[in-house]
């Protein structure tokens, strides 16, 4: 198991435990970088990474319901509610009662919310852009392929549902 090369020769050397370990460590260190810039911005405020995630996906899917957001974020409603409550209280997010189904709340960013979302996503995108530029288009395609193959089935569905929707 530690040496797949035995089964297929040179072609499978990228599946050695050693290569896999490097990938694991790369994910660990890269994810730290990935969140570092927004975290720095949020550190000066009363918000955290959970608020960033909520803002991101509300921005992505304006009018989304609480339940929908719940399944995308993969947290409990109590946990999300704590975050949403503060965002709504501070006027970053608007919650509107549904027209067809009045039980639902549809979530939108206010101007103030959009401003913060923009600041956070600009910071994160800047890092992503410079990584993309350094690695080049072929590497980027591979990057996306591996990440998509790494997702759980359910998360993959959430991701695909968002993937090709225009902003």
DSSP structure class, residue 64: E
Under 8 Å between Cβ of 61 and 162: yes
CB of 99 to a copy of itself, least distance (A): 28
Does the protein bind DNA through residue 33 (CB under 7 A)?
A: no
CB of 154 to DNA, least distance (A): 13
d(CA 167, CA 132): 21
Query: Of the ranges 80-88, 89-97, 107-115, 141-149, which one interacts with a copy of itself (CB under 8 A)?
Result: 141-149
For 21: left if phi > 0, alpha if psi spans -120 to 50, otherwise beta; the answer is alpha
- In 51-153 the beta strands, taken as DSSP E runs, fall at 64-65, 93-97, 105-109
Query: Of the ranges 62-70, 77-85, 110-118, 125-133, which one interacts with a copy of itself (CB under 8 A)?
Result: 125-133
CA-nearest of 35, 72, 34, 45 to 161 is: 72
Does the protein bind DNA through residue 51 (CB under 7 A)?
A: yes
Q: Which residues here bind a copy of itself, judged by CB under 8 A?
A: 11, 13-15, 17-34, 36, 53, 56, 60, 74, 121, 124-125, 127-152, 155-156, 158-159, 162-163, 167
Q: Which residues here bind DNA, judged by CB under 7 A?
A: 46-51, 53, 65-67, 70, 74-85, 95, 97-98, 100-105
């Amino acid at each position: 198991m530690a040496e797949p090369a035995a089964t297929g020769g040179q072609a499978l050397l990228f599946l050695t435990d050693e290569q896999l370990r490097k990938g694991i460590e790369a994910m660990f260190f890269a994810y730290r970088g990935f969140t570092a810039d927004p975290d720095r911005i949020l550190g000066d405020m009363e918000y955290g990474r959970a608020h960033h995630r909520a803002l991101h996906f509300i921005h992505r899917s304006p009018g989304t319901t609480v339940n929908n957001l719940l399944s995308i974020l993969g947290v409990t409603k109590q946990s999300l509610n704590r975050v949403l409550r503060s965002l709504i209280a501070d006027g970053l997010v608007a919650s509107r009662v549904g027209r067809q189904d009045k039980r639902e709340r549809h979530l939108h960013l206010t101007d103030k919310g959009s401003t913060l979302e923009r600041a956070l996503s600009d910071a994160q995108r800047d890092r992503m852009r410079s990584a993309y530029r350094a690695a080049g288009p072929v590497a980027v395609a591979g990057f996306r392929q591996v990440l998509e193959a790494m997702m759980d089935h359910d998360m993959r569905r959430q991701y695909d549902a968002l993937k090709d929707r225009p902003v």
